[in-house]
Amino acid sequence: MLLAKTSLDGHWRGVMVVARILRDAGFEVVNVGMATADQIAAAARDEDVQLVGLNVGGRVEVVERVLDRVREMAGDVPVFAGGTVPPWAAKRLAERGVEVFPPGSSNDDIVAAARRLVGAPGE
Amino acid sequence: MDEPQTPSGIPLRPVYGPDDLPADHGLRAAPPGEPPFVRGAYPQMYRGKPWRIFQLSGYGSPEELNQRLHFLLEQGETGFIMKRDRVTNDHLYDPDHPEVDARREDVGQTGSVLLSARDVQVAIEGLPIEHTYAHPGAGVVQAAPWCLGSYWVAAKRRGVDFTKLSGTGQSDFFLTYVGCLTKDQIPPHAGLRLNRDLIEFCTERMPRWVPVSVAGYNGADSGLVAHEELGAVLANAVEYLDVVRDRGLPVDGFARGIGGVSFRTSMALFEDIAKLRAARKMWHDLLSQRYGVTDEKALALRIHVVTAGSAMTYQQPLNNLVRGTLMALAAALGGVQSLGVSGYDEAISIPSDHAHQMSIRIQQILQEECGGLVDVADPLGGSYFVESLTESLETKAWTFFEEIQARGGFIESIDDGWLLQRAADNQMSESMRSGSIVGVDIHTDDVSPWAIDGFAGGSDAWELGMARVAGVRRERHETAAGDALRALEAACKADDNVIPLMLDALDADVTIGEVGAVYREAFGSWKVPVQL
């Protein structure tokens, strides 16, 4: 799976913890850090990933642009997101099939969602 | 069940008694304002001067920042902070840089978009800058000379003698290389050199300005626990003081200039109260023993506290008003000169005007309504528990300090990612602990009637910034701007003090991205040495 930060806001603690718990759960995680929509979509295509995780520290419009490019370049790979996403923006992303894990989400819930999204059996 | 302990790993016993007081309790009990300053930096503490109400603020266009700052001062803030946009400012990018263009809607979300001295003139319009303590948004190391310089030049253009202004620049290594990494940043050694330039310039010309301010907060809220925060802050100070001493300059005056630092208070109430007390003692011991400083004004550490943003929850956000109050109380009890309370909407968005207002009200209630709090200095002094915790933390913090020194010092431990790795490992173990956060782990509800939607500000900050930069490039004297940039580049490469050249460049209306290009050419870019 691929992990990326959509914004140039450098708070890394959320995405770092998510990267580690997913690796511990057996996922092969490529973390590209702060990346543009084009870079994220190209990485998703080139690495042939089964899942894309986006860390959001900015506006939902930027996430939507990432989503557009991922759909164009990497097809319908599932996408989920976490970060400081206000409730109204989380709703907007949910309408496009992106599940959002806000601050306070449990490690177990995030791992379970990742397994479900790639069609792997739960533990 | 495990024995309860503080986040730093100090075991907590059911009750403390006289035997738990430090062996040198008598020495430590010296009144506030006297060495070793455990009990406070000043004799009268809040009776002499209540702590400064100092909130992190800034978003959107220069006009939006100006409006918010006026609002905060009207509400009772007693200093102001001009937080700048992370996308443009902290990376030193103009808005037409490809990295900015690719995420233009983010511009202005994390701070105000101030792209030339002209923008800062707009941002400070009508503000009482002559007699208000300011932090013009110089958090990130590579941006600090630009941010401070732009404020000083904007003041000068308003007819104010900028050398008489008071305020601070953070220019903080914890923020830049541990807490909030940028995609493009000059290496730590180049950062140390810019901070040296700032310290020298301010010591010579700006008697009321704190040139750099070590911000332990940014290490702590990224994972460093209390004793690590303390030890690392002192190790950072050593880098500054060694530079000064090695240049054969008297340490006393400089030490006073950098003697304003920031710490975090969290929900670990008592450990954080002890931390502030320990910090003053350790500062005193470091300066007097290692550098022979005798000036008591330099030996008395002044402290700004920011309450933990990470303690604020997304779920049931009004609970955060209680958390903010408790963390602010810890700061007040530990002894501070200045305080910012994180917004109750911290986990959701940048602060709304209401969240900002409540952060001010919390502080006003503590200052005006809580009997005795501002009347008596160090009210917990002599508490068996707090005195014992203060001493235990000091011991652990000195061990961590020595560990940093033994591996080559603070800058080395930033440069090779050691401190960042430590913070990340701590974060990981914290996330594994079974939680007891109210509203998140326990006492949750599915449908909270008190949900809030989050503040977003305007969505045109990028477009407006593009138009302003185009205007500046059209109207300025092109030759003067080019000459100033070349002079700045020569100073960067020759190890001359960059600050006077930065002021010239700002006065010639160069833009932030132009300065960034000079830096990237002169200093190169730091590669984050840790796999996150």
pLDDT in tens, A43-97: 999 999 999 999 999 999 999 999 999 999 999 999 999 999 999 999 999 999 9
Whether residue A20 lies inside any domain: the answer is yes
Q: How many domains does chain B have?
A: 1
The three-point CA angle B507-B509-B511 to 5° equals: 130
Which sign, positive or negative, has the C-alpha torsion A67, A73, A76, A77? Answer: negative
The mean pLDDT values, 10 residues at a time, for chain B of 532 residues are 88 97 97 98 96 98 98 98 97 98 96 98 98 96 98 98 95 96 95 94 92 96 97 97 86 85 97 98 97 94 97 95 98 98 96 97 98 97 98 98 98 97 92 85 78 84 98 98 98 96 98 98 93 73
Query: How does the average pLDDT of chain A come out, rounded?
Result: 94
Task: State the DSSP string of B103-166.
Answer: TGGGTTTSSB---SHHHHHHHTTT--GGGSEEE-S--SGGGHHHHHHHHHHHHHHTT--GGG--
CATH code, domain with B352:
3.20.20.240
Are the beta carbons of B348 and A58 separated by less than 8 Å? no
Are the beta carbons of B431 and A88 separated by less than 8 Å? no
What's residue B449's pLDDT? 60
Q: Are A20 and B191 in contact (CB under 8 A)?
A: no
Return the residue matching tokens 């009321």.
B208
Whether residue A123 lies inside any domain: the answer is no
* Closest among B337, B322, B306 to B229, alpha carbons compared: B306
What's residue B494's pLDDT? 96
Whether residue B36 is preceded by a cis peptide bond, meaning omega within 30 degrees of 0, is yes
Identify the residue among B105, B443, B452, B531 best suited for mutation to test binding to A, counting A beta carbons within 10 A and taking the highest.
B105
The H or E element containing residue B202 is helix B188-205
Interface of A with B (CB under 8 A): 6-13, 15-17, 19-21, 31, 33-34, 36-38, 57-59, 61-62, 65, 84, 86-89, 102-104, 106-107
What's residue A123's pLDDT? 55
Whether residue B493 lies inside any domain: the answer is no
The H or E element containing residue A55 is strand A52-56
Whether residue B325 lies inside any domain: the answer is yes
Whether residue B383 lies inside any domain: the answer is yes
Are the beta carbons of B102 and A20 separated by less than 8 Å? no
Return the residue matching tokens 């009772």.
B76
Q: Is 90 exceeded by the pLDDT of residue A120? A: no
Whether residue A122 lies inside any domain: the answer is no
Closest CA in chain A for residue B454: A86
Q: Show residues of chain A in contact with B437, CB under 8 Å.
A: 104
B328 CB neighbour count, 10 Å cutoff:
24
Closest CA in chain A for residue B345: A86
- Amino acid at position B174, single letter: F
**Domain hosting residue A9, numbered range:** 2-117
Whether residue B531 lies inside any domain: the answer is no
**Domain hosting residue B50, numbered range:** 18-422+465-472
Whether residue A54 lies inside any domain: the answer is yes
Are the beta carbons of A17 and B427 separated by less than 8 Å? yes
**Residue partners of B325: CB distance under 8 A and separation at least 6:** B341, B362, B365, B366
CATH code, domain with A47:
3.40.50.280
The three-point CA angle B172-B175-B179 to 5° equals: 155
What's residue B1's pLDDT? 53
Are the beta carbons of A21 and B532 separated by less than 8 Å? no
Are the beta carbons of B347 and A104 separated by less than 8 Å? yes
Whether residue A7 lies inside any domain: the answer is yes
Whether residue B312 lies inside any domain: the answer is yes
What's residue B447's pLDDT? 64
Whether residue B523 lies inside any domain: the answer is no
Are the beta carbons of A88 and B454 separated by less than 8 Å? yes
Whether residue A63 lies inside any domain: the answer is yes
Whether residue B517 lies inside any domain: the answer is no
B454 CA: distance to closest CA in chain A (Å): 6
B99 CA: distance to closest CA in chain A (Å): 7
- Determine the straight-line distance between the first and last CA of chain B, rounded to whole angstroms: 33
- Looking from the CA of A23 toward its CB, the CA atoms found within 13 Å total 13
What's residue B249's pLDDT? 78
What's residue B256's pLDDT? 84
Whether residue B434 lies inside any domain: the answer is no
Q: Are B41 and B284 in contact (CB under 8 A)?
A: no
Q: Show residues of chain A in contact with B222, CB under 8 Å.
A: 12-13
Interface of B with A (CB under 8 A): 86-87, 90-91, 99-100, 102-103, 105-106, 109-110, 179-183, 222-223, 310, 313-315, 347-349, 423-424, 427-428, 431-432, 435, 437, 440-441, 451, 453-454, 456, 459, 528, 531-532
Q: How many domains does chain A have?
A: 1
